[in-house]
Amino acid sequence: MISRTWVEIDLSALRHNLTVIKERLKGKKLLAVVKADAYGHGLEGLVPVLDQYIDFWGVASLDEALKIKNDKPIVILSPILQPEVTPVVENDFIPTVSSIEIVRALSKEAQKLHKVVNIFVEVDTGMRRTGVPAENAIEFINDVEDIPNVKIMSIFTHLATASLPEGGPKVLQQVRDFRNLLKRLRNSYMVHVANSAGWLRFPETYEEFDLVRIGILIYGLSPFDHSPTIPVRPILEWKTRIVDIRWVDKGMGVSYDHMFVAPCRMKLATLSVGYGDGYPRSLSNRGYVMIHGKRAPIVGRVCMDLTIVDVTNIPDVKIGDEVTLVGHGITMEEVAKLADTVNYEVATRISTRVPRIYLEK
């Protein structure tokens, strides 16, 4: 059955991106960040390809970890809660910890199940979101080392400003602070700092460390407000169809609130997509789509299930025609800029009611 709106995922482009990334990692381990359903791309369909290239999966929650059917280690990058301790240990997931209470709970459960639970310790060197504050990290890590049935597999920090053109000094300060902390540890661990933006811009964030956490680049999108600086390709195209065509006369209002009033006689096409599918409502009167290789501007409010565009100057438009929302000349970055957000949000907000179709193009 043909869907009213759908996403096409190019698996050959995904392989290309992973090859490009792996070649530039020069032997460093790769943690693929696949949280939020692989940044909206549909994780289940990507797992078989990703599995051939990566060393770790990176998710945000226990629920996401449980959806991955794979033997590679799965790291839960956000803090877990007490009720999640048992399933984390039972499934051999690797939690990220910054709470000694959670570590003790993990230890208790691991002892009960006769297991050793591996953990990642996050150190907060400037993000100020999660992680052990840097000034407390040595004491915390030393305490954890004395807790039974818990093993620190890795210590890492997260960069706060790597995507900003002016963010370099803060990034380098975070790296210096983290490096100084590592020198004071009594044991050595797998260490990582770089996310996609840091890896692309700052060799200091990965050259002397063991692993790189790559998310948005895997999907061919940019962590910056410009194109990626390596030759990755977007793997996603978002499409819909025309479900109505009509003429309106000069002075007629269009869509909710009549925020658009026709300045002349116009031919309008209604598309079967809206903010209920994750298409940004903020594109009202601002965005555009591609029809027959030409740009058609959005007129009026984006509705929950429908969006109206101007096709006055596009010949031979008919009901059922395919329309491109992202792809074929419209980048995710362009859509994000018009919607006053970032490409991460546009991608991850594509609703689960929009089917993902996996293709070899």
The angle subtended at Cα 321 by Cα 334 and Cα 302, nearest 5°, is: 45
Among residues 6, 1, 13, 7, which one has the least CA distance to residue 361?
13
Residue 35 a catalytic site member:
yes
Catalytic residue among 35, 239, 275, 358: 35
For residues 321 and 339, give the distance between their C-alpha atoms in angstroms, rounded to a whole number. 25
To which H or E segment does residue 175 belong?
helix 168-183
Tokens 């482009």 belong to which residue?
13
Beta-bridge partners for 169: none
Please list, in sequence order, all residues whose beta carbon lies within 8 angstroms of the beta carbon of residue 337, skipping any fewer than 6 positions away. Answer: 225
For residues 44 and 60, give the distance between their C-alpha atoms in angstroms, rounded to a whole number. 16
The angle subtended at Cα 80 by Cα 77 and Cα 85, nearest 5°, is: 125
For residues 239 and 318, give the distance between their C-alpha atoms in angstroms, rounded to a whole number. 16
Please list, in sequence order, all residues whose beta carbon lies within 8 angstroms of the beta carbon of residue 67, skipping any fewer than 6 positions away. Answer: 43, 44
Q: What are phi and psi of 58, to 5 degrees?
A: -120, 120
Residues 346 and 335: beta-carbon distance below 8 Å:
yes
Task: Indicate which residues carry an active-site annotation.
Answer: 35, 256
